[in-house]
Amino acid sequence: MSTPSYPVVLDLTGRRVLVVGGGPVAARRASSAVAAGGRVEVVAPWLCEELASLVADRAVEWRARDYADGDVDGAWFVHSATGDRTTDDAVAHAADRARAWCVRADDASASAAWTPAVARSADGVLVAVSGGGDPGRARAIRDAVAAGLDSGELPVRATRRRTIKGPGTVHLVGGGPGHASLVTVRGRRLLATADVVVVDRLAPRGLLDRLSPDVEVIDCGKTPGHHQLTQDQINAVIVERALQGLDVVRLKGGDPFVLGRGGEEALACHAAGVPVEVVPGVTSAVSVPAAAGIPVTHRGVTSSFALVSAHDGVEPIERAAHEHAATTTLVLLMGVRLLRDSAAALVASGRSASTPVAIIERGWTEEQRTTVGTLADIADLAEAGGVQSPAVVVVGDVVALRADLGPFSPESRQARRP
């Protein structure tokens, strides 16, 4: 396409598309035309396997012979991919006389039309790329655009007011342990197309900076001892917005179903007839210790870990200590406020006072900090160091591995700074 060109998107629905040729290139062109709704007819003395499959499925009609004069008559769009220059010339000339667009596979410079490399998103965005006569470059750019569409890096949210039919969908998105880069590709994509985002305090808030200005952001603002919105109010607001036909992303820290109350929100949506999608996230129970160089399991140390919420007191921690072997790693979420009571309860339940303990604050952020001690002294160390939530508490011999592994991120970057 070195000559001036005029890009256009064609509607092939119900229109006759002629494909001349039976090889793999013709098969790709025929498949694309079928997907676009075209009424496809193939003229070729033989067919490759993919085309034969289309014929067997009655997706295309096959004329089992060589191309003949008159085949182009009545065609709305033509592809010529025989590999024979004389035949492709004849098809192109006939299409030109019949005022039908013809794409040649053998010589783009002799075509009246070209097929670009195309990237499509799940919600109808189509991007066509011309490589200026270089198909490899076109495909490379197409692949980069497709990755941007899939990941939500490109501004894919619709701006034209759409006709609302029925409720929107509530997407319960796990944002991961805190850093914006650790959200899943699916989660980022949904954020890029959301009408409403209902966000938690511990969600990766850096993602909010990339939202369109007209996206409604509702901050739940949950902090220890203070709830800007109660859980019932959160349930009500996501249902209300969805019933207005809006797509809602409920952005959480970690994983929606790991102490995230995502199940309650999903039940509220089901009760109201609102569709729900759950997008898993990387739970802080595993990823935050990892950032500090602490694997929750390690061969020769322990093969199991137990996740416990300390939000409702020390009783669940005591039960976990009784139910699991002393070698089992205990991971405590929301455990800073009752740290002293929890440590005492674990010792009283049979854990050695010398058991290693680590507290990792603000995991995967630039403010990440780790405090290491034992059940005997961790509460004093935390108090002296001003340890605060959000933090993950790890109890078990795996904490000692940190001395050899070292922190991975972002503490490790800070440690390397001169």
Active site residues: 200, 222
Tokens of 216: 């409604």
Contacts of 122 (CB under 8 A, 6+ apart): none
CB 341 within 8 A of CB 382: no
Q: How far apart are CA 222 and CA 118, in angstroms?
A: 44
**Three-class SS state of 330:** strand
Tokens 């954020």 map to which residue?
A: 191
- DSSP letter at 164 equals P
CA distance 137 to 133: 9
CA 148/CA 154 separation, integer angstroms: 5
With vertex at residue 387, the alpha carbon angle to CA 383 and CA 389, rounded to the nearest 5 degrees, is 130
Q: If you count them, how many residues does the chain have?
A: 418
Distance (Å, whole) CA 372 – CA 336: 14
Residue (of 313, 257, 304) closest to 398 by Cα position: 304
Helices (H) and strands (E) in the chain, counts: 13, 17
DSSP code for 113: B
Residues 6+ apart with CB under 8 A from 311: 259, 333, 334
Phi, psi of 373 (to 5 degrees): -160, -150
Would you say 12 and 76 are in contact if contact means Cβ atoms under 8 Å apart? yes
Closest listed residue to residue 411, CA positions, set 353, 356, 357, 372: 372
- Judged by DSSP in three states, 223 sits in strand
Confirm if 155 and 192 have CB atoms less than 8 A apart.
yes
- Asked if residues 186 and 162 have their Cβ atoms less than 8 Å apart, the reply is no
